[in-house]
Amino acid sequence: MFTLHEDEKAYRHGDHGPKYLMMGPTSNFGIVKLLPGNVVSPHYHKIMEENFYILKGTVSMTVNDVESTYSAGDFIHLEPGEIHRLENKGTETVRFVVTTSPWMDHADKIEV
């Protein structure tokens, strides 16, 4: 067992992006912060499935060329191979939980 507080980890891009609180050995758990205008470029995962739970704000997510909008309380599950892109088109910061399984490093992520 281990514990930590979110403040003990940093966002990948300073004030935004993913912040992984746990990576491996079998899954990842993180918090993602998207500022207005932030985009996560289209990609897919060869092996990992990915889950998102929106905590705050509204995010546009395109999955396999179908765009949908999600807000606080929405849960999204993606299977391996599903091409996805995220964008904060609003004026409010978006925060969401991301979990992945099985644990994989960045070698599993394929940009398209």
Domains and CATH numbers, the chain: 20-111 (2.60.120.10)
Percent of the residues in the chain that have a pLDDT greater than 70, as a whole number: 99
- pTM listed for this prediction: 0.93
Quick: pLDDT tens for 6-43.
Answer: 999 999 999 999 999 999 889 999 999 999 999 999 99
Question: Are the C-beta atoms of residues 109 and 45 closer than 8 Å to each other?
Answer: yes
Model confidence at 109, pLDDT cuts 50, 70, 90, reads confident
| HSE-CB of 70 using CA atoms within 13 angstroms | 23
Percent of the residues in the chain that have a pLDDT greater than 90, as a whole number: 88
